[in-house]
């Protein structure tokens, strides 16, 4: 759990430095009420409806909900928090209009002479975002033309990284010097983010989330909405649920990253493949002229492949038994190889031309892979690996910072808490309790904050929006296990934060909200740098506030920022404003949940 936690500690240290050295950073609060922050997309009729009022008033104020014509349709008193919110440093009050059940668009919330941006209250609120959050993955595909008829004319582009000049990948990609003496066809998959790298650990996590969202919906009996012809992808109409078609694009790539049987380290997965040097922004993918390279296999990547492929074997079996069998074979070989090579750790230092995705602790990846292999096969060898893992018996799988590409034990727990297995009932009960205990912890974190965010003030690191969405998934899983509404409410309130109920009054999802991110860091969706290119398509979520200020734009524009305010919608700010598959995947998962 290594790199992300040390990043947290580093950010905390930077933050303390900023606070102590710069009294100037914390200006005296403006008197009175300065803003009303709401979900700028809106609220579900049968969901929580809360907004945050930024105000120094020591006493409750009156909120008024107004319809599109300006008529007051409900009103009530706010709740005073009484102390500044640690993450935003704002003095806040809460307006709760959950009891209002009318529907419509153009509502506003008015408090003390200030008015929120307009929002809707309606069922079906999340249908569009669910579909757009998934379309992100189609548009991130490598090795296939992106069709105007599916993505829109501005987003169409030719197939890239299929060995056609100037591309130098991905049909025959060599290893970095000293790693191997052959080349591999590693075409396909999704580009990771704003860059053109393809990284097995992040790919495995993101695939797992998409497939898990389908498996969850199937369990809940709501999978029809995720069926065939529900997404704008080329495979629509093939009889297979579209979310599985999309995830398969990545699964095929992940399996291509596995070392073949006749080579040293057979069964291991190459950690990643990417450009030998960083390309400039903008660079259209089909114009990328950099050398592409395979990087040394790692235990973490191999176990991510094992987990995602084992899950594939279970979930795809009813739709394509041959593909499911291929996934299972790959997962078994990956597991065996990882057991034989448990110490091939990916370093934090390998970050030229692509991200490092270093990870020094792989016991959590072993647990996750064993859990998925056991849930799929029921075999003793995997069961023993599950039950002998410290992640199975002790706490720590769920942390305030949430799961992530380097911290995967929670995924194993979620799988074993939700998929029927032959584990003793007492084990399953303990696993379920650990999910609900984690969810209760996130609810407690939310209630201690001005903006009801399920991460603590110390967790505004690179990709904080992804952590918010990941923790909201745990809340949604707890709802599925218990039926308790408070967990569903918590998951929905996390979406409120991402869609505008935050200190910046900023929706982090392009195309959704009055003030929405539009200049995320991306080499093709780079309109800020080149007017002939598009902005990111609707449904792309920005990484979010990162108090580490780890790029030049953030360092220049955001000194002294409160943790939750360390964000700038500038294409140059890759440490606060990039898009990535591991952030859009939980957004897709959550909006599928919210759309039900």
Beta strand spans in 281-361 (E):
292-294, 297-298
Catalytic residue among 521, 522, 551, 570: 521
194 binds ligand 9MR (CB under 6 A): yes
* CB of 449 closer than 8 Å to CB of 431: no
Which of 245, 288, 569, 570 is flagged as catalytic? 569
Q: Cβ distance 77 to 59 under 8 Å?
A: no
Binding residues for ligand 9MR restricted to 422-481, rule: CB under 6 A: 462-463
Name which of 40 and 575 has its Cβ closer to ligand 9MR: 575
Query: Which positions from 220 through 259 interact with ligand 9MR, judged by CB under 6 A?
Result: none
Considering only 77-85, 159-167, 189-197, 286-294, which stretch makes contact with ligand 9MR by CB under 6 A? 189-197
**189 near ligand 9MR, rule: CB under 6 A:** no
Site string for ligand 9MR, 342-371 (x = CB under 6 A): ---------x---xx---------------
Instruction: Work out whether 193 is an interface residue with ligand 9MR (CB under 6 A).
Output: yes
CB of 194 to ligand 9MR, least distance (A): 4
For 233-299, strand residue ranges (E) read 269-270, 272-275, 292-294, 297-298
- Total residues in contact with ligand 9MR, by rule CB under 6 A: 18
Cα dihedral across residues 201, 202, 205, 210: positive or negative: negative
Interface residue with ligand 9MR among 47, 169, 197, 534 (CB under 6 A) is: 197
**Site residues for ligand 9MR, window 266-285 (CB under 6 A)?**
278, 281
192 touches ligand 9MR (CB under 6 A): yes
Give yes or no: 242 in active site.
no
CA atoms within 13 A on the CB side of 498: 35
Strand boundaries in 10-87, DSSP class E: 33-37, 42-43, 50-55, 62-66, 72-77, 79-80
Per DSSP, helices labelled H in 388-505 are 390-393, 409-418, 425-447, 464-482, 485-498
524 lies in the binding site for ligand 9MR (CB under 6 A): no
8-state DSSP, 277:
S
4 contacts ligand 9MR (rule: CB under 6 A):
yes
CB 444 within 8 A of CB 485: no
| Residue 7 engages ligand 9MR in binding (rule: CB under 6 A) | yes
CA 422 to chain centre: 31
Query: Residue 101 and residue 78: Cα distance in Å, rounded?
Result: 18
Q: In degrees to the nearest 10, what's the CA dihedral of 264, 265, 270, 271? A: -130
CB of 550 to ligand 9MR, least distance (A): 7
Q: Which of 195, 242, 245, 493 is catalytic?
A: 195
- In the complex with ligand 9MR, the residue whose CB is nearer, 92 or 546, is 546
In the list 541, 578, 589, 595, the residue contacting ligand 9MR (rule: CB under 6 A) is: 578
Give dist(CA 331, CA 208) in Å, integer: 13
521 is catalytic: yes
Q: Which of residues 4 and 141 has its CB atom nearest to ligand 9MR in the complex?
A: 4
For residue 313, what are its two tokens?
A: 């074997």
Per the annotation, the verdict on 569 as an active-site residue is: yes
Concerning whether 578 is annotated as a catalytic residue, the answer is: yes
In the bound state, the residue with its beta carbon closest to ligand 9MR is 355
- The position carrying tokens 């009156």 is 62
Handedness of CA 586, 207, 461, 293 (dihedral sign): negative
Site string for ligand 9MR, 538-567 (x = CB under 6 A): -----x------------------------
Interface ranges with ligand 9MR (CB under 6 A): 4, 7, 192-195, 197, 278, 281, 351, 355-356, 462-463, 543, 574, 578, 580
- Catalytically active residues are 195, 521, 569, 578
């Amino acid at each position: 759990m290594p790199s992300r936690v040390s990043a947290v500690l580093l950010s905390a240290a930077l933050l303390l430095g900023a606070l102590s050295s710069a009294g100037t950073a914390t200006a005296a609060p403006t008197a009175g009420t300065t803003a009303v922050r709401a979900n700028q997309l809106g609220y579900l009729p049968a969901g929580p409806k809360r907004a945050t009022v930024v105000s120094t008033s020591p006493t409750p104020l009156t909120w008024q909900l107004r319809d599109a014509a300006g008529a007051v349709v409900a009103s009530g008193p706010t709740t005073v928090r009484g102390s500044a919110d640690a993450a935003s440093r704002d003095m806040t009050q809460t307006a709760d209009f959950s009891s209002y059940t009318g529907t419509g668009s153009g509502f506003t919330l008015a408090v003390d002479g200030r008015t929120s941006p307009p929002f809707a209250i309606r069922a079906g609120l999340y249908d569009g975002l669910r579909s757009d959050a998934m379309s992100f993955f189609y548009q991130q595909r490598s090795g296939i033309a992106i069709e105007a008829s599916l993505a829109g004319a501005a987003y169409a582009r030719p197939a890239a990284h299929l060995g056609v000049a100037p591309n130098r990948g991905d049909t025959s990609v060599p290893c970095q010097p000293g790693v191997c003496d052959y080349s591999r066809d590693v075409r396909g998959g999704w580009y990771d983010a704003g860059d053109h790298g393809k990284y097995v650990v992040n790919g495995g996590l993101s695939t797992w989330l998409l497939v898990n969202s389908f498996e969850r919906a199937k369990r809940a009996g709501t999978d029809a909405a995720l069926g065939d012809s529900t997404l704008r992808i080329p495979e629509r109409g093939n009889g297979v649920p579209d979310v599985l078609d999309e995830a398969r694009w990545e699964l095929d790539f992940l399996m291509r990253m596995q070392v073949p049987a006749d080579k040293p380290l057979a069964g291991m997965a190459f950690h990643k493949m990417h450009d030998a040097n960083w390309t400039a922004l903008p660079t259209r993918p089909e114009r990328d002229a950099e050398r592409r390279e395979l990087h040394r296999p790692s235990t973490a990547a191999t176990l991510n492949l094992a987990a995602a492929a084992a899950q594939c074997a279970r979930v795809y079996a009813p739709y394509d038994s041959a593909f499911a069998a291929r996934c299972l074979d790959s997962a078994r070989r990956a597991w065996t190889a990882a057991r034989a090579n448990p110490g091939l750790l990916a370093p934090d230092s390998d970050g030229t031309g692509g991200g490092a995705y270093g990870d020094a602790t792989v016991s959590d990846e072993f647990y996750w892979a064993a859990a998925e292999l056991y849930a799929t096969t029921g075999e003793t060898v995997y069961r023993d690996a599950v039950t002998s893992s410290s992640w199975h018996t002790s706490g720590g799988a769920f942390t305030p910072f949430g799961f992530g590409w380097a911290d995967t034990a929670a995924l194993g727990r979620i799988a074993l808490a939700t998929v029927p297995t032959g584990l003793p009932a007492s084990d399953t009960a303990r696993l379920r309790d650990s999910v609900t205990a984690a969810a209760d912890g996130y609810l407690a974190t939310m209630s201690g904050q001005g903006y009801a965010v399920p991460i603590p003030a110390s967790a505004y690191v690179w990709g904080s929006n992804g952590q918010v969405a990941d923790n909201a998934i745990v809340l949604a899983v707890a709802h599925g296990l218990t039926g308790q509404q408070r967990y569903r409410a918590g998951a929905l309130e996390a979406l409120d934060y991402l869609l505008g109920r935050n200190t910046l009054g900023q929706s982090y999802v392009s195309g959704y909200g009055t003030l929405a991110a539009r200049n995320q860091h991306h080499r093709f969706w780079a309109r800020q740098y080149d007017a002939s290119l598009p902005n990111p398509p609707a449904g792309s979520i920005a990484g979010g506030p990162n108090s580490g200020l780890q790029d030049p734009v953030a360092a220049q524009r955001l000194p002294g920022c409160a943790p939750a305010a360390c964000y700038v919608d500038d294409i140059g700010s890759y440490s606060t404003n990039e898009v990535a598959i591991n952030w859009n995947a939980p957004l897709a998962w959550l909006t599928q949940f919210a759309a039900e």
